[in-house]
Amino acid sequence: MTFSDPLALDFDFAERLIAWQRVSGRHALPWQVSQDPYPVWVSEIMLQQTQVETVIPYYRRFIERFPDVAALAAAAEDDVLAHWSGLGYYSRARNLHAAAQKVMHAHGGRFPADATGLQGLPGIGRTTAAAIAAFAYGQRGAILDGNVKRVFARVFGVEGWPGEPAVEKRLWALAEVLLPQEDIARYTQGLMDLGATVCTRGRPRCGICPFANDCLAHGQGRQRELPGTRPRKTLPERAVAMLVLHHAGEVCLEKRPARGIWGGLWGLPECEAAASPAEAAVGLGFAVHEVRALPGLRHVFTHFRLAIAPWAISVASQGPSGPGRVWLPGEDLEGAAVPTPVRRILQMFFAEASRG
């Protein structure tokens, strides 16, 4: 069997998946304690492009600080970003905050009760809306995240890279065909569990898969070939210098623009990698005492690699100040809304400073 005729299934995929999830799936995730759409929504946004093991501690801290949609909507964006710091893809946090405010102001504090309404909230696409609707309301809808694409491509022999529009269209058609009429929440969770714990990217555990006897990839030994891989593309390199301007045990942070990388977070002042860091500091209005280089680091984004050259610059005073500039003492770093590379630089700087 191949995907050329998705209706010609000689086994009940959904029934078998539901039975497997009931026995072998994940049932103790912290957001599975109720059908309240708020924790379901928060978890689904966090799980976009991030593994469960990474998400769990962030989720617990986030829910402790923002226990309901009203608390999240009323919070300052900086507070939301600070509790997201380290998870990456910060547009998710900004969309989460904006969606909470829309729920409060446009929906009377209640989440839309169907996938179509949920897709009207910032940051919620087709898969996320269907997942929330399934878990919170038991509504029938197809999902197609990265794990699910891998399961379908292997079991049903779907050729090509899932990011190609034609391949993705075939996978969506298959996802719709396979939907059961009942037990949609368990089926949806089963798809996620199977892709995350059994049909993994690198070392699939085919020996315990409920579809091992019917999976085309397993039967043909093509687990490494399916799904197809993204066409290789060389990531461009960029370089930047970051200025650790410090005075009296505190460092200067500047608010980053809402758009662009690390939007809305607090970062270090920057200049071109080839520029003089001392002159850059003077250009910002500071009197420079001492300049020294810190160890460089690299950070990989989806579309480019960034080489960062940090410079520790002792300045005469903390002025000039403004609404987009704050001074951070070392003891406040843990709770600051800063990008991961900036956090690493500052951890290194404050650690050296504490050693004298």
* Confidence band for 1, pLDDT divided at 50, 70 and 90: very low
The answer, yes or no, to whether residue 64 has pLDDT greater than 60, is yes
Locate CATH 3.90.79.10 in the chain: 237-354
CATH superfamily of the 13-140 domain: Hypothetical protein; domain 2 (1.10.340.30)
Contact status, residue 174 vs residue 156, Cβ threshold 8 Å = yes
The per-residue pLDDT for range 259-291, each reduced to its tens digit, is 889 989 999 999 999 999 999 999 999 999 999
Burial string for 328-337 (b: 16+ CB within 10 Å, else e) reads bebeebeebb
SS (H, E, C) 181-232: CCCHHHHHHHHHHHHHHCCCCCCCCHHHCCCCCCCHHHHCCCCCCCCCCCCC
The per-residue pLDDT for range 141-152, each reduced to its tens digit, is 999 999 999 999
* Confidence band for 126, pLDDT divided at 50, 70 and 90: very high
Q: Which of the residues are catalytic?
A: 44
Task: Give the residue with greater pLDDT, 185 vs 354.
Answer: 185
Locate CATH 1.10.1670.10 in the chain: 142-178+198-232
Class of the CATH-defined domain 142-178+198-232:
mainly alpha
- Which residues are paired to 253 by β-bridges? 326
The per-residue pLDDT for range 237-258, each reduced to its tens digit, is 999 999 999 999 999 999 999 8
CATH code for residues 237-354 = 3.90.79.10
The answer, yes or no, to whether residue 350 has pLDDT greater than 50, is yes
Task: Give the residue with greater pLDDT, 250 vs 355.
Answer: 250
Locate CATH 1.10.340.30 in the chain: 13-140
The per-residue pLDDT for range 83-123, each reduced to its tens digit, is 998 898 999 999 999 999 999 999 999 999 999 999 999 99
Average pLDDT, the chain: 94
C-alpha to C-alpha distance for 250 and 168, rounded to whole angstroms: 50
